[in-house]
Structure formats: C-alpha cells, structure tokens
Structure 1
Amino acid sequence: MNRPYDPDPHAHPGLHVVALVEGAKGLLALLGASGLELIGPASLRHWVELLIARFQFDPDRGAFAWLQQSINPESVHFAAAAIAAYGLLHLVEAWGLWRARAWASWLGCITATLYVPFEIQALVRHPGWLELAVLSINLVVVWVLARDLFRRRR
C-alpha cells in the first residue's frame, strides 16, 4: 500500500509533462523576479514614461500613470519577492509531480482549478485562439492531476 508521500509506481505518465510545464513556469518566474531586481525602479519608470509618450496616454490619469507613480524601490523589491515565491512554489510542485507525490497532485489540481474561472472570463471577454488554448491546456492539467488523485484513492 502506498503512503501519501511515497511515489506511485502506476502514476499517470502525464505527470511528467505537467511537471515540465510547472518547472518552466517556475524558472520563468524566477528569471522575471531577477530581471526586476536587475533593472531597478529608475529604468522601469523610464520605460513606463516611454510607453505613455509612445501611445499618447494621459500622463496624469489611467493605469500607466498609476503604475508610474507606484514604482519605487520598495514596490519593486516586493513585486520581485512575490514573483520569486510564486516561481519557487511552481518548482517545488514540479519536483513533487516528477516524483509522483500525492501532495504535488493535490497542490497542482487546486491551483490549476483556481485559474479556470479567470480563464473562462478572459475567453468570454476577448474570444480568441490564445485564450482558448490557455483554458484548454489548464483543463488538461486539471484532468491529469485529478485522474492521478482518483487512481490513488482506488
């Protein structure tokens, strides 16, 4: 009998594919967090100023104006830390899925399911191939992980 922390020798082969996707997301998030720290607030503010000028947005109102005013060293460090934590969580999940750990299937299934309503909303608001592909991939991930959990229960 397998305990929850033991690898399941009959785990669905799709777990490795999901683990690779989660690992890639984790690495990209860590790269993004590192990039934020390397670029720093001054360069970010400059880029936002360039975007405002390029697209002729109102420099005193709107999302870009708010973003420009919100960029400071503390907010950049906080954003980088949050993105790094997100990336590390995905890397831990990827490791657990690669090793066919039940806790990783639970974690992945719950977090992937949380994204579904937002992806449906995005598809309804802006129908397109990208939105449909993201939703479809996420539903496949939920299916693979839920199937793994169901098989463990039996």
Structure 2
Amino acid sequence: MTDAQHYNPDPHAHPGLHVIAIFEAAKGLLALLAASGLELLGPAPLLRWLHELIARFQLDPNEGALAWLNKVINPDGVHLAAAVVLAYGLLRMLEASGLWRAKAWASWLGCISAAIYLPLDLYAVYHHPGWTSWAVLAVNLIVVAVLARDLLKRRQ
C-alpha cells in the first residue's frame, strides 16, 4: 500500500485544516531558522547591532528594554533564546503535521495556542490601531474559529 492509501482523514474534519497546517509549518520553519541563526551568530553581532541601533537613534542604553537587552545578550542568554525558539518551532511543526493528517489533538493544540494570543491581539489593536494589528487579530480569530468548528464537528 502507498502512503496515499494509508491516509484516512477524519471525514468530519474541517477542510481549512490543510491551510492552517501550511501556515503553522511556515511559522515552525522560520522559528527553526531563527534558532539556527542565533546559534551560528552568537552574541557578538547581536550586541554590535544593538549598539548601532542605540547610536543611530540616540537612545539611552541605560533605560528600559535596551538596558535589559544589553545585559542578557551573552553566550548563555543566546543559547537559552535559541533553545526556546527551537522548542517553539518544533511545537509548530508537530502541530502542522497533526493538522495535515486531521488529528483531533492537533486541532486542540492549535485552537488553544491561537486563543492564547487573542488578548495580546486585542491589546495591540487598542494601543496600536492599524491594518497590521487588525490583520493579526483577524487571522487568529479565523484560526480559532476553524479549529473550534473542527472539534465541534468531530463530537457530532
């Protein structure tokens, strides 16, 4: 038997699962590339870019996020950031694989992980209104709706 003959998706699964799977796989791939980039570059170029940013825009390096970044961009901090981004990328790839095969657990994972971002999306729309904030909110709402509908259809 070929792989195509083994593929037996849930007939109740929502047809948008493949679209969401591709989107999640793209996010996962970008995260894996970012984690690799962090490990390959290390802290030196990141610190140089941070100092160039501070100089170019005449920012105070001793205040807020810039002071924090200046302190945490070190070998241990870069390794930790790369590990977190790697874990995120692997989780997105796992979710994409499950959604492509119309697995219920993947719909649960995707629905919950997209819903977690909704309060942040609403905050962004309120404090930084613009087409980007609205687009991100709309995409996350669509993902939550499609995955929730898929889960509800499976229960019937």
Q: CA deviation at 1:12?
A: 1.2
Q: 103, 115, 121: which one pairs with 1:113?
A: 115
* Aligned match of 1:3: none
Q: 90, 93, 99: which one pairs with 1:91?
A: 93
The question of 1:52 aligning with 2:62 is answered no
* Aligned match of 2:4: none
- CA RMSD, 1 decimal: 1.0
4+ aligned runs moved over 6 Å, structure 1: none
* Aligned match of 1:15: 17
Q: List aligned pairs for 1:1-150, cutoff 5 A.
A: 7-150=9-152
Residues 112-134 of structure 1 show CA distances to partners (whole Å, capped at 9, x for unaligned) of: 11100110010000000000000
Aligned 8 A contact 2:12 2:150 in 1: no
Q: Quick one: distance in 2 between partners of 1:53 and 1:70? A: 19
State the percentage of identical aligned residues: 65
Q: Quick one: distance in 2 between partners of 1:14 and 1:61? A: 45
TM-score scaled by structure 1?
Answer: 0.94
Q: Quick one: distance in 2 between partners of 1:54 and 1:25? A: 31
Q: CA deviation at 1:64?
A: 1.4
Q: CA deviation at 1:99?
A: 0.1
Residues 22-73 of structure 1 show CA distances to partners (whole Å, capped at 9, x for unaligned) of: 0000000001111111111011111101000000011222321221122110
Q: CA deviation at 1:92?
A: 0.2
Q: Which runs of 5+ in 2 are unaligned?
A: 1-7
The residue type paired with residue 11 of structure 2 is: P
Q: Quick one: distance in 2 between partners of 1:149 and 1:16? A: 15
Q: Quick one: distance in 1 between partners of 2:63 and 2:109? A: 40
Q: Which runs of 5+ in 1 are unaligned?
A: 1-5
**For 1:100, what is the secondary structure of its paired residue?**
coil
